[in-house]
Amino acid sequence: MKKRELGQSGLYVSEIGLGCMSLPPNKEEAKKIVDAAIDHGISYFDTADLYDKGANEVVVGHALKDKRQDIFLATKVGNKWNEDGSGWVWDSSKSYITTQVKESLVRLQTEYLDLYQLHGGTMEDDLEEAVDAFESLKKEGLIRAYGISSIRPNVIDRFLSTSEAASVMMQYSMLDRRPEEWFKLIEGHGASVVTRGTLAKGLLTAEAMKRVEQSKGYGEYSKEALIDTISKLDHYAEDLISMALAFVLQHKQVSAILAGASSQEQIASTMHAYHQSISANSLEQVKDLIRDDRYTGHRI
């Protein structure tokens, strides 16, 4: 497994990371999947305090507690569950971030986080206060780096402009190329991109046509356009997952792809695809088959 630096943090992450949200709630079943990921060379694991009301962090902590020195551990903050568990509210205040990190550390059974991320954000937020919270946590040694998970360019730019953030997590795939316009801006701020949704809800896997038939479209693609595009991609690419991963990793601004998995078989499938060779010429040609959309809202 190759590794890339996360922004200019001096920290390196495996090109494929495990997005832990899809892990089963059973600790032992989840541990088998995490162990399989590690056996395949994955060392980057990402969760959030929002997932399953914190229970996902507990599962991840159990699975990784004996491997802490060998892995890169990330979680997120900002979405606060209501006391009755009926939903959550947004809270990017310094007091919430600095309090919540300690709860995440307990659930994850660790003394520090490699990456702590603001799990959203708006232009109405006091982002400078959030950045101050992250900087304070770095000084305390509770986190090694921080970043933001957002698809709002104006929020991303403002957050990066006032901080030394290492990363921006964005939904990005062959079927959602909106982030490409902002890669240079992110790089210019000294940060890098971590992608999620790179397999587009299974539309870029062996189950592509089955998923298309069950969908109502995806992003700017109507169902009809999606059927046409997936058919062309499936015909063109020997392995759709391999093409999807290589398409994202061709960008030097991308540090890692977070891939979800709910079984050991899914880990094996993703890693088999990752190790397939895709030529630069093939990646260039595939651009003619897919849309090149841009964000219409939240622009700078």
The residue length of the chain stands at: 300
Would you call 96 a catalytic residue per the annotation?
no
Active-site entry in 44, 51, 116, 274: 51
Nearest to 92 by CA among 130, 65, 50: 130
Q: Which 8-state DSSP code applies to residue 222? A: -
From residue 18, how far is each of 11, 47, 71, 73 by CA, in Å? 17, 9, 11, 10
Query: In the structure encoding, which two tokens stand for residue 202, read together?
Result: 């299974």
**Number of CB atoms found within 10 A of residue 219's CB:** 15
Q: Are 241 and 199 in contact (CB under 8 A)?
A: yes
Q: Are 244 and 259 in contact (CB under 8 A)?
A: no
Q: Which residue, chain included where needed, has tokens 């290492």?
A: 166
Catalytic (active-site) positions: 51
